[in-house]
Chains A and B, each alone.
Chain A
Amino acid sequence: MSPFRSLSRAMLLGFVRDKTSVFFTILFPLMFLVLFGALLTNQGVSKSKIIQVGPVAVLDQSQGLGEILDITRRNDLAAAQEEVRQGDFVAVVRQEGDRYQLFYTAADQVRAGTVRGVFGQLIGQANAAGVPQRFTLEAEQVEDKSLKVIQYVTPGLLSWAISMGATFGAAMTLVTWRQKKTLRRLRLAPVRTTTVVSARVGASVAIALVQTAIFLGVASLPMFGLRLSDYWWMCIPMVIAGTLVFMAIGMVAGGVAKTSEAAAGIANLIVLPMAFLSGTFFPLDAAPAWVRTVSNIFPMKHLNEGMLDVMVRGQGPASILPELGIILGFGLVIGLIAVLLFRWDDV
């Protein structure tokens, strides 16, 4: 076996046999995905609470709707919409002449879908009763037309998972190898430094690609309902670039830290706040302008954006090139710092 292959193999085996790293790299982010997915796509079967503003003929005339719908009457449309936004109700409905308007929430996808279905049917029946078709239904989400939660959350959590894996992988390897003198031992073997580094990069990229596959696989399960766009595979170069930049960050953490505990602390201190400020867990649209400006200095923000673009926003392959360039630029700069901080030995 070539030194490159045997070193990559040694590192991968070391990773796979370490239950803690496997948990934190693969299962832990997956738990977040399951948590977000389960919390935000509630599959309850209880009645859907809706608000009716003014007289709505199809509701007033139909029988037996009480089984599915729990109807409350209000007079003010704007106030009612606000109540939907607050999550107290699933939808608001009103009638203006022949137009029915349905305002529903995206926070409760299942119930909102039920309500839309029910209205579709009611209006269908009303239309069937009288030709030509008089009634039309306009359904509109009360939130802005941004992405469904799982669509938004998956790329973000994936880039977070990859960042964690790459940062911790690089930082821990560097510190423990330095402590255990494995680095010295490698230095005494006729193997190039670039071979050692590229073996570590190869192992990390392989881990990241496995993470991606598992992640997308789970998110695409019917219960989570992720729908990938046509160019989702363009996330692969993003994943690789993200791995590189976060490995460089891990090398910096490992270069500064003396113990693996310190390295883990530093890595967490960098990655976790960056994840929040980069809009990994929730969108930054509601964040203050300065936060959005500051977020641009984080490579994870660009990783998120690129992943969203190609995975769920359906943008073409060329769209990620700017983000890819920015990430690789970060990687280059941080990588240079890592080289300057690199030490073979503790002393």
Chain B
Amino acid sequence: MGQTIIVQDLRKRYGDVHAVDGVSFSVEQGEFFGILGPNGAGKTTTLEIIEGLRQADAGTVEVLGMSPWPRNPRLLPKIGVQLQASSFFERLTAREQIRTFASLYGIPARKADEMLTVVGLEDKAGTQSEKLSGGQAQRLSIACALVHDPEVLFLDEPSASLDPQARRNLWDLLRSINSTGRTVVLTTHYLDEAESLCDRVAIMDHGKILELGPPAALVRGLDSATHISLATGVVAVAAAQELAGPDATVTDDGVSLTIATRTPAPVLAELAERNLLTGIQVRGATLEDVFLHLTGREYRA
């Protein structure tokens, strides 16, 4: 498997702000790669440099063996970019939008209409893009990015401002796009999105990559506590502490009593013996804990 994207020591400054401060990574062909971080972490700038929309101050980028800067007409047909704002032509219907974009790549209208079906918008084809819902507009913009069958697809915060149902639909769509062998790179500030979709995730903050790897590996590598929650009142705090042992921390917020422990098995066994498993919740570490661990602060999108 070849490397589709190679980024080396990328740097970009805006005034005194180091938006991107020495970023290096590479993306394998067919991989689903995520760049995760809070707003202002430098994700979008990194992505824009890779897409060829911005020039880096230093460092090199190679996409499919070519340099994206300056504007490279040989590379452009091979990449598809879905931008943060839905960058449509004003007052055109969904079908007119995608046909217009298709024509820019020399793709016939018939194929454009097919792509509308792929993203499930065939019954909205005659609707003006301004009147589509957030999720529909997002799917249309992905369809417009895919209409020329690119090898690499870039998505910048695709699920921002979508309702939960639309997000799930979008995830299914993105998985199916990736399963056809296309390389997908996305930025997100949703931890669950990165965890659910990406083969590998780069966690960014303040323009630097803090950690890079498969989400599961990052979480496992954390060696963090497992949280076991019960309804308040089922067992007293002191009793819970005794039951869990001195290494565990027990908190009670008035609704749930939570035991955080690195050895959940004996605790669960003990709870089972006392027949207290009803309504119990067990949560392992997530990327959120990884972020907390890396930065020392709570993750806030």
Q: Does A74 contact B (CB under 8 A)?
A: no
A186 adjacent to chain B (CB < 8 Å): yes
Q: Which of A1, A3, A18, A182 contacts B87 (CB 8 A)?
A: A182
- Whether A180 sits at the interface, judged by CB under 8 Å, is yes
- Among B23-31, B96-104, B208-216, the stretch that binds chain A is B96-104
Contact of A181 among B79, B83, B109 (CB under 8 A): B83
Per-residue contact bits, chain A 1-25, to B (CB 8 Å; 1 contact, 0 not): 1110111011101100110000000
Q: Which 9 A-B pairs have the closest CB atoms?
A: A6-B103, A181-B87, A189-B104, A17-B91, A185-B87, A190-B76, A14-B90, A10-B89, A181-B85
Asked whether, in the complex, the Cβ of B104 is within 8 Å of the Cβ of A14, the reply is no
B71 within 8 A of A: yes
Out of B81, B96, B106, B109, which one reaches A10, CB within 8 Å?
B96
How far apart are B158's CB and chain A's nearest CB, in angstroms?
14
Contact (Cβ within 8 A) B103 A188: no
| A180 and B87 form a contact (CB under 8 A) | yes
Tell yes or no: A95 within 8 A of B by CB. Answer: no
**B86-A7 in contact (CB<8A):** no
Whole-angstrom CA separation of A18 from B130 in the bound complex: 12
The residue from B73, B81, B85, B99 contacting A6, defined by CB atoms under 8 A apart: B99
- Chain B residues whose CB sits within 8 angstroms of the CB of A345 once the complex forms: 53
Query: 14 A-B Cβ contacts within 8 A?
Result: A1-B103, A3-B104, A3-B106, A5-B103, A10-B100, A180-B85, A180-B90, A181-B87, A184-B83, A185-B101, A187-B53, A188-B79, A188-B81, A190-B76
Q: How far does the alpha carbon of A191 sit from the alpha carbon of B76 in the complex, in Å?
A: 9
The reply to whether B104 and A176 form a contact with Cβ atoms under 8 Å apart is no
B205 within 8 A of partner (CB): no
Q: A13-B96, A180-B85, A181-B84 are in contact. Are A186 and B91 (CB under 8 A)?
A: no
Least Cβ distance of B194 to chain A in Å? 24
Q: Which residues of B contact A186 (CB under 8 A)?
A: 104
Q: Are B88 and A182 in contact (CB under 8 A)?
A: yes
> Could you tell me if B88 and A188 are in contact, using CB atoms closer than 8 angstroms?
no
Is A188's CB under 8 angstroms from B76's CB? yes
Scan residues 180-215 of chain A and give those whose CB is less than 8 A from a CB of chain B. 180-182, 184-191
* Residues of B contacting A182 in the complex (Cβ-Cβ under 8 angstroms): 87-89
Enumerate B163-222 residues with CB–CB distance to A below 8 Å.
none
8 Å CB contact of B100 from A7, A180, A187:
A7
| Structural contact, A180 and B86, CB atoms closer than 8 A | yes
Task: Give, as a whole number of angstroms, the nearest-CB distance from B120 to chain A.
Answer: 22
Cα-based distance from A182 to B100 in the complex (angstroms): 12
How distant is the Cα of A41 from the Cα of B84 in the complex, in angstroms? 57
Q: Once bound together, how far apart are the Cα atoms of A176 and B109, in whole Å? A: 26
A187-B53, A187-B71 are known; give 12 further A-B pairs, CB within 8 A: A1-B109, A2-B103, A6-B100, A10-B96, A10-B100, A17-B128, A180-B88, A184-B83, A184-B87, A188-B51, A190-B77, A190-B105
Interface residues on B, range: 20 to 34
A14 CA / B85 CA spacing, docked (Å): 19
- Given the known inter-chain contacts A7-B100, A184-B87, please indicate yes or no for A189 contacting B105, CB distance below 8 A: yes
**How many Å from the CB of A240 to the closest CB on chain B?**
24
Asked whether B92 lies within 8 Å of A3 as measured between CB atoms, the reply is no
Closest to B72 in A: A190
The answer to whether the Cβ of B52 comes within 8 Å of any Cβ in the partner chain is: yes
Chain A residues closer than 8 Å to B51, beta-carbon distance: 188
Assembly CA distance A142 to B128 (angstroms): 59
A184-B83, A185-B81 as given contacts; A191 in contact with B90, CB under 8 Å: no
Cβ B100 vs Cβ A188 within 8 A: no
A15 to chain B, nearest CB (A): 9
Q: In the complex, how many angstroms separate the beta carbon of A164 from the nearest chain B beta carbon?
A: 19
Instruction: Kindly identify, within residues 150 to 196 of chain A, every residue whose CB is under 8 Å from any CB belonging to chain B.
Output: 176, 179-182, 184-191
Query: In the complex, how many angstroms separate the beta carbon of B173 from the nearest chain A beta carbon?
Result: 19
Chain A residues with CB under 8 Å of B71's CB are 187
Contact of B90 among A9, A18, A188, A189 (CB under 8 A): A18
Query: In A1-58, which residues have CB < 8 Å from any B CB?
Result: 1-3, 5-7, 9-11, 13-14, 17-18
Q: How far is the CA of A127 from the CA of B267 in the complex (A)?
A: 130
Question: How many Å lie between the Cα of A13 and that of B99 in the bound state?
Answer: 13
Tell me which residues across on chain B come within 8 A of A3, comparing CB atoms: 103-104, 106
Please give me the residue from chain A that is nearest to B128 by CB atom: A17
**What are the residues of chain B within 8 A of A344 when measuring CB–CB?**
53
Question: Contacts A181-B83, A181-B85, A190-B77 given: A176-B100 contact, CB under 8 Å?
Answer: no
B85 to chain A, nearest CB (A): 5
A-contacting residues, B11-46, CB 8 Å: 14
Bitwise, B36-70 to A at CB < 8 A (1) or not (0) is 00000000000000011100000000000000000
Expressed in whole angstroms, the minimum distance between the Cβ of B248 and any Cβ of chain A is 49
Q: How far is the CA of A1 from the CA of B128 in the complex (A)?
A: 21
Q: Which residues of A contact B86 (CB under 8 A)?
A: 180
B17 nearest CB across to chain A (Å):
12
Closest Cβ–Cβ distance, residue A256 to chain B (whole Å): 21
Contact with B along A236-256 (1 / 0, CB 8 A): 000000000000000000000
Q: For the complex, what is the distance from the CA of A103 to the CA of B51, rounded to whole Å?
A: 77
